[in-house]
Amino acid sequence: MDEIIKLGGILDFTTVDWPGKIASIVFLYGCNFKCPYCFNSDLVIGNNFKEIEISKIVALLKSNKDFVDSVVICGGEPTIHGEKLVKLCSLLKESGFKIKLDTNGSNPELVEKLIKNKLIDFVALDIKSDFQEKNYERASGGFTDMQKIKNTLNILINSNIEYECRIPVIPNLNQHLIKNIAKEITQAKTVVLEQYISSDKTIDKNFKIINSPSREELINLAKFFKNEIVKIRTKEMGEEILTS
């Protein structure tokens, strides 16, 4: 019997979400975080989803296989779907796709299983704040189990998989904590500072009026990081590697 999963939507083509690849994006519905700045609120607190057989998602993606050989799975938070996510990745792998997983790091056991079974090729781990519980609770909308985030990070560091730690830089929320974050993820190979872009769809409407940090601000904040690869991503310039 085919399994049903909650799907928020599919984007057929992107060259932005997995740099260097042409990929499709699968948006899975639902999230265990309620980040106030989240611009995918329809996938978190809305009802913008349909229940669909996992095999049908794969069939839809295979229809573009002549042009796209990679898939980004994001949300929401994909790992809340547990074994259904494993099934989706397995079928995509059987169909010859490379897979990137975007995750908030709250399910280290599942991430480790996907890596050990070679069901994913790249992981983007979102780091919302420094690892002080009160700060992470505010940035994530309630999550405080910091050990899970740390465990996911350590799994990535000790694996052979490609990964990056993505840090959305948000004024009035975590921008003043960037120096602390830099001290806490020194062992990560790749760090990306992402420019926050305001949206009318944020969970907390106060964040739709917050100005984006400038490219120059991100460059200055990036100086706190001594990781092997440090990047910034901005609306005006896209992805830039500052150290390598």
pLDDT score, position 66 = 87
pLDDT at 149 over 90: yes
Average of pLDDT values for 136-151? 97
Ranges assigned E (strand) in the chain:
4-14, 23-28, 50-53, 70-74, 98-103, 122-126, 162-169, 190-195, 229-234, 238-243
Average of pLDDT values for 207-211? 87
C-alpha pair distances (Å), 202 with each of 5, 13, 88, 139, 206: 24, 24, 28, 13, 8
Average of pLDDT values for 184-204? 93
Q: In 3D, which of 70, 238, 233, 242 has the Cα closest to residue 166?
A: 233
C-alpha pair distances (Å), 33 with each of 3, 38, 60, 137: 24, 10, 28, 9
CA distance 212 to 220: 15
How many beta carbons lie within 10 A of that of residue 237, not counting itself?
11
Residues β-bridged to residue 167: 193
Q: In 3D, which of 187, 189, 181 has the Cα closest to residue 222?
A: 181
- pLDDT of 211-225, one tens digit each? 899 999 999 999 999
pLDDT band at 123 (very low <50, low <70, confident <90, very high): very high
Residue whose structure tokens are 């839809």: 60
What size, in residues, is the chain? 244
pLDDT score, position 238 = 92
CA distance 240 to 12: 25
Lowest mean pLDDT among 40-44, 59-63, 226-230: 40-44
Q: Which residue intervals of the chain are DSSP H helices?
A: 54-62, 83-94, 108-116, 133-140, 146-157, 178-184, 215-222
Percent of the chain with pLDDT over 90: 86
pLDDT band at 1 (very low <50, low <70, confident <90, very high): low
pLDDT score, position 19 = 84
How many beta carbons lie within 10 A of that of residue 222, not counting itself?
22
Q: Which domains does the chain have, with CATH numbers?
A: 4-243 (3.20.20.70)
Cβ proximity of 22 and 70 under 8 Å: yes
pLDDT score, position 133 = 97
- pLDDT of 88-118, one tens digit each? 999 999 999 999 999 999 999 999 999 999 9
Average of pLDDT values for 151-156? 98
pLDDT score, position 208 = 85
pLDDT at 36 over 80: yes
pLDDT at 16 over 90: no
